[in-house]
Amino acid sequence: MVEERPGRLTVGVVGAGRVGPALAAALGLAGHRPVAASGVSEASRRRAEALLPGVPMVEPGQVMAAADLVLLTVPDDALPDLVRGLAETGAVRPGQLLVHTSGRYGTAVLDPALRAGALPLALHPAMTFTGTPVDVQRLAGCSFGVTAPGELRLAAEALVIEMGGEPEWVEESARPLYHAALAIGANHLVTLVAQARDLLGLAGVTEPGRMLGPLLGAALDNALRSGDGALTGPVARGDAGTVAAHLRELREHAPDTVPSYVAMARATADRALANGMLKAEFAEALLGALSDEPSPRDGGIA
């Protein structure tokens, strides 16, 4: 049993998706007290039961009434209307901490609640969530994008540290760019890995995941350490013939992957050119191989 300490907060969750219950559970481990959650779907209820056992599922207004700190963990596009609705119905209490976890928004989206006396914080965990208890463990060392009024900055950073995370300050105006960077890095990575798995399966590899694991782990580690210096492969070398062969196979066996291959290969070529890895004399042939339409030399129809 956690000993009650001064400054401990009652915690509520509006939107019991994958993120909210995990953060509330982490705050519970730090000595705060989750008291209420709201969620619409059966999956939300199951997640809340697994991560916040004994915490009642109630309406959003009841969560607001019960908690000193309320986590607003709804999809980005739903957040402005939710905040506006809570403020207009009088659900927001003066001095109440309102924390949203959207990467896209800073604290301006909470202005309706701020006018009602709430204390606005934007705490976005740079982590993917499964909706299971493992998420709480993954918060250890996880970076959070933190945006808050100056007078609340220390409080915001303290909450992140209590959840096991590392606060990283992000200015209000930079939030969309910050979120775009994470979407490119995490969401698009999943798509690329899934495509690679599927293609290896088409090639007859029986354990695509086992083959990709060490390779992708090394590539990620190298990229984080060395940036563009970690580039390798036929595009960075300027092997236009190999790239053309790839595209022939993809057009025949997996045409839906051609646009992403071409887009990423062009982006790779740009970066390799900029850092001097790809020689200019090889770039023209490479970009020709990456043309949208197959050419006669690729074995296609002009």
Going by pLDDT thresholds of 50, 70 and 90, the confidence category of residue 301 is: very low
* Of 128-132, 135-139, 237-241, 295-299, the least confident: 295-299
The rounded distance, in Å, linking the Cα atoms of 223 and 118 is 42
How distant is the alpha carbon of residue 234 from its chain centre? 30
Q: What is the mean pLDDT of residues 227-245?
A: 95
Report the candidate in 100, 113, 124 with the shortest Cα–Cα distance to residue 180.
124
Residue linked to tokens 């092997």:
239
Q: What is the mean pLDDT of residues 273-299?
A: 79
* Of 37-41, 95-99, 135-139, the least confident: 37-41
- The pLDDT tens digits of the residues spanning 167-178 come to 999 999 999 999
- The pLDDT tens digits of the residues spanning 53-88 come to 999 999 999 999 999 999 999 999 999 999 999 999
- For the stretch 185-202, what's the b/e string if a residue is b when 16 or more beta carbons lie within 10 angstroms of its beta carbon? eeeeeeeeeebbeebbee
pLDDT given at position 7:
65
Domain boundaries, the chain: 10-170, 177-298
- The pLDDT tens digits of the residues spanning 104-135 come to 999 999 999 999 999 999 999 999 999 899 99
Q: Are 87 and 112 in contact (CB under 8 A)?
A: yes
145: β partners:
124, 168
| Res. 297: pLDDT tops 50 | no
pLDDT given at position 291:
83
DSSP-derived secondary structure for 166-216: EEEE--GGGHHHHHHHHIIIIIHHHHHHHHHHHHHHHTT-S-HHHHHHHHH
Q: Which CATH class is domain 177-298?
A: mainly alpha
Q: Are 118 and 82 in contact (CB under 8 A)?
A: no
The rounded distance, in Å, linking the Cα atoms of 28 and 52 is 9
* Residue 147 burial by Cβ neighbours in a 10 Å radius (0-12, 13-18, 19+): buried
Q: What is the mean pLDDT of residues 2-8?
A: 51
pLDDT given at position 40:
84
Going by pLDDT thresholds of 50, 70 and 90, the confidence category of residue 294 is: low
User: What does residue 109 show for φ and ψ, rounded to 5 degrees?
Assistant: -65, -20
- The pLDDT tens digits of the residues spanning 162-219 come to 999 999 999 999 999 999 999 999 999 999 999 999 999 999 999 999 999 999 999 9
12: β partners:
36, 70
CATH number for the segment(s) 10-170: 3.40.50.720
Q: What percentage of the chain exceeds 70 in pLDDT?
A: 94
| Res. 228: pLDDT tops 70 | yes
pLDDT given at position 43:
87
pTM for this structure? 0.86
User: What does residue 34 show for φ and ψ, rounded to 5 degrees?
Assistant: -65, 130
pLDDT given at position 44:
87
- The pLDDT tens digits of the residues spanning 28-49 come to 999 999 999 998 888 888 889 9
pLDDT given at position 26:
97
| Res. 2: pLDDT tops 90 | no
Q: What is the mean pLDDT of residues 261-271?
A: 95
Q: What is the mean pLDDT of residues 260-266?
A: 96
